[in-house]
Amino acid sequence: EAGVAQSPRYKIIEKRQSVAFWCNPISGHATLYWYQQILGQGPKLLIQFQNNGVVDDSQLPKDRFSAERLKGVDSTLKIQPAKLEDSAVYLCASSSMTGRQETQYFGPGTRLLVL
């Protein structure tokens, strides 16, 4: 079974530029998550999708971050404009169910450095 795929693996941008990350979850997984992991910390949830609908985006900085999952499969996370403090690893995870405490499977992450 293929795992969660993410691209790019690394990205370096200057502040105020925009950037987009892509995620392809495990086939058949209805729930998709985006996490932000700052160096030395645990992952922090940004947004959760159930199919193509948003379940929880309470911790997403909506003035600069946006995410979509139009067809209920792949997802993109965008930052515009980026700030220095956005430097982090952005992890995508998927699970087969939501609300039933199903195990989340993580992708390798995208490492973002904002200069």
Partner 1 sequence: GESVGLHLPTLSVQEGDNSIINCAYSNSASDYFIWYKQESGKGPQFIIDIRSNMDKRQGQRVTVLLNKTVKHLSLQIAATQPGDSAVYFCAENMGYGQNFVFGPGTRLSVLP
Q: Does 53 bind partner 1 (CB under 8 A)?
A: no
Among 80, 75, 50, which Cα is nearest to 62's? 80
Per-residue tokens: 20: 């987009």
Is 4 a residue that touches partner 1 (CB under 8 A)? yes
* Candidate ranges 60-68, 69-77, 78-86, 99-107; the one touching partner 1 (CB under 8 A): 99-107
Residue 60 amino acid letter? L
Scan residues 13-42 and list those touching partner 1 (CB under 8 A): 33, 40-42
Determine phi and psi for 38, rounding to 5 degrees: -80, 145
By CB under 8 A, tell whether 44 contacts partner 1.
Answer: yes
d(CA 37, CA 2): 23
C-alpha 4/C-alpha 78 separation (Å) is: 18
Candidates 52, 56, 73, 87: give the one binding partner 1 (CB under 8 A): 56
Residues that bind partner 1 (CB under 8 A): 4, 33, 40-45, 48, 56, 91, 93, 98-101, 103-109
